[in-house]
Amino acid sequence: MLHEERTANILINKAGGNAGPDAKGYRVALPSAWMKALGISEGSRTVTLQFDGESITIRRPAVSDYDVFLANARSSAHALMILYYYDGNKLCTKICADQTTHQLAIENEVSSPLSTAFGVNRKPTWDDLQTFLKDRCVPQERDGLKYYLSDLGLDCYDPLAIIRKTEGRMAEDSCWIKIVEG
């Protein structure tokens, strides 16, 4: 483990944008060896800053269960489908669906269970995903379903295929789903 201490000067500049006339921005240059040791690169530069009143700590964010699940499934070359559940422009839930093992991992991006894909359920199953997809589609019992499916270019009722065409948009809310093969 690298353990080193250095003294540095803080760079102080006028803050830009909508900041007030007396606002300042503070920066410090960090040694590249330290950043490499943290795993910081142009493609991975998110850090967690912590201030305890006397010192500032910079560290990599904790790896989530979602990230571990995704990495393991990818390293096993499983067929993945990533679903992003939005309310308007706000990403609410990320869903990683492993189509090989029929397992899921989710990461809620909002705190209110009313805005998430699975509500208070933090460990949804494959069956929960199928129910969620059906809930984001026109009901299978709908009158004129055959014509609706024909308009979508579909031969049969398949919630995933319907969502690929409609993004799971419903008249009752502003929620929708973006699907990415993973």
Instruction: Say if 160 falls within a structural domain.
Output: yes
pLDDT for residue 90 is more than 60: yes
d(CA 100, CA 122): 21
Q: Do residues 157 and 80 share a domain?
A: yes
Q: Do residues 84 and 137 share a domain?
A: yes
Look at the chain and report how many structural domains it folds into. Answer: 2
Nearest C-alpha neighbor of 162 from the set 147, 175, 152, 172? 152
Q: Do residues 72 and 145 share a domain?
A: yes
Instruction: Say if 6 falls within a structural domain.
Output: no
Q: Do residues 95 and 171 share a domain?
A: yes
- pLDDT at residue 16 in the model: 79
Question: Higher-confidence residue: 136 or 3?
Answer: 136
- pLDDT at residue 59 in the model: 84
d(CA 48, CA 157): 45
Instruction: Say if 1 falls within a structural domain.
Output: no
Q: Where are the alpha helices (DSSP H) in the chain?
A: 32-38, 65-75, 126-135, 145-152, 159-166
- In the predicted model, what is the mean pLDDT of residues 160-181? 95
* Highest mean pLDDT (candidates 5-19, 34-48, 123-137): 123-137
Q: Do residues 43 and 99 share a domain?
A: no
10 CB-contact burial (10 Å; exposed 0-12 / middle 13-18 / buried 19+):
exposed
* Highest mean pLDDT (candidates 28-42, 51-65, 96-110): 96-110
Instruction: Say if 2 falls within a structural domain.
Output: no
- pLDDT at residue 1 in the model: 53
Q: Do residues 29 and 100 share a domain?
A: no
Instruction: Say if 41 falls within a structural domain.
Output: yes
One-character DSSP codes across 51-94: E-SS-EEEEPPPPPHHHHHHHHHHHTT--EEEEEEEETTEEEEE
Q: Do residues 159 and 72 share a domain?
A: yes
pLDDT for residue 150 is more than 80: yes
Q: Do residues 71 and 35 share a domain?
A: no
Instruction: Say if 100 falls within a structural domain.
Output: yes
Share the mean pLDDT of the chain: 91
- In the predicted model, what is the mean pLDDT of residues 123-142? 95
pLDDT for residue 157 is more than 80: yes
Residue at 146: amino acid letter: K
Q: Do residues 34 and 85 share a domain?
A: no
Q: Do residues 126 and 146 share a domain?
A: yes
Nearest C-alpha neighbor of 63 from the set 116, 107, 124? 107
Tokens of 24: 């300042």
Instruction: Say if 94 falls within a structural domain.
Output: yes
Q: Which domain holds residue 27?
A: 11-59
d(CA 7, CA 52): 19
Instruction: Say if 28 falls within a structural domain.
Output: yes
Kindly list the distances between the CA atom of residue 119 and the CA atoms of 7, 51, 128, 136, in Å, as whole numbers in the listed order: 48, 33, 11, 14
- For 51-80, write each residue's pLDDT tens digit: 899 999 888 776 678 988 998 899 899 999
Q: Do residues 111 and 161 share a domain?
A: yes
* Highest mean pLDDT (candidates 13-27, 48-62, 111-125): 111-125
- pLDDT at residue 78 in the model: 93
pLDDT for residue 83 is more than 90: yes
Q: Do residues 37 and 77 share a domain?
A: no
d(CA 70, CA 106): 10
- pLDDT at residue 2 in the model: 62
